[in-house]
Amino acid sequence: MLPNRLSSCHQHLYRLIFENPIEKPYYKWLLITVKDNRGIYVNLATYTSIEFKVQRTDFPNGRSSSEDEIYTLESGIGGDWYWNGEKLNVTSEGETPIMPPFPPIPIKQFRVNVTETGVGSSYVISPCQYEIWDKKTWHNQTINVPRGLADLSTIFNASNRLVFQVKFPQLDISQQKVKIYWLDDLDVEPYQGPSDLSYDPNFFVASTNKYRVEFIGVGHTQSPAYPYDYYGVVALLAPSLLHQFWLREYHLCRNLLRQVLLRSCLPQ
């Protein structure tokens, strides 16, 4: 969609006129980049945020607490949403279910806000990460697999996913709100909150306020805490106060590593 006319209102002020707008409920991002005489760049966009609710579908029964009920959500540029690799259904209140796409802007401009105690509570900034995903053929099926973390200065594109967490810390909370928005300053620094993540290369151990994870693989095939040699097979050892467990399945390892990274961020 291109503007039909560009008119000048007065000095330094211009107006873009669209005679054939996109019909509702569909969305189309339009970005205009402006540079001033100081060399500062800013973005102008047709919409500047995406806001929605996350519904807890399986309400817990027979539980006294839901303090650790945390969902890791991920989305690509097209507006498709996933949880544990499963595509989620997106519904809309009173309209055709259309989730707005993310604009292709530098990743560092994105911010994520979530509520913590229900839809009536105030937003707080949420730590998030941006991943690169590839399509692979596995047993004659095309699947999506993560390759690594994205460069935050690059443009958010079809190979990227935005990943963050939504918590349900109380049993009476059935919904939380999420607001994803983007800053207009192209020179802005990526969001970096406080974190207590540390890594000991001598013992191949990453530690946070919540987890202690030992990486098993080539160069470190056996843990002192577990009497088995994995001979280079990738695995994770995650001991806790009550138990310890090994993760060898690929998606479980990925999700645990996400937990380590995202939950190492401290409240501000």
pLDDT at 139: 81
pLDDT in the model for residue 252:
52
Residue 181 pLDDT: 94
Residue with tokens 């607001």, as numbered in its chain = 179
Neighbours of 215 (CB within 10 A): 18
Say what the pLDDT of residue 247 is: 46
Parts of the chain with a pLDDT under 50: 1-2, 4, 6, 8, 241-250
pLDDT for res 187: 85
Q: How far apart are CA 211 and CA 47, in angstroms?
A: 38
Q: Give residue-wise pLDDT tens across range 257-267.
A: 666 556 555 55
Please give the Cα distance from 214 to 253 (Å, whole number).
11
Please report the pLDDT score of residue 246 as a whole number. Answer: 46
CA 221, 222, 226, 228 torsion-angle sign: positive
Q: Which helix (H) or strand (E) holds 251?
A: helix 250-262
Domain ranges in the chain? 5-45, 49-182, 198-262
pTM listed for this prediction: 0.74
Structure confidence at residue 13 (pLDDT): 65
Cα separation values, 93 from 53, 56, 99, 180, Å = 10, 16, 12, 19
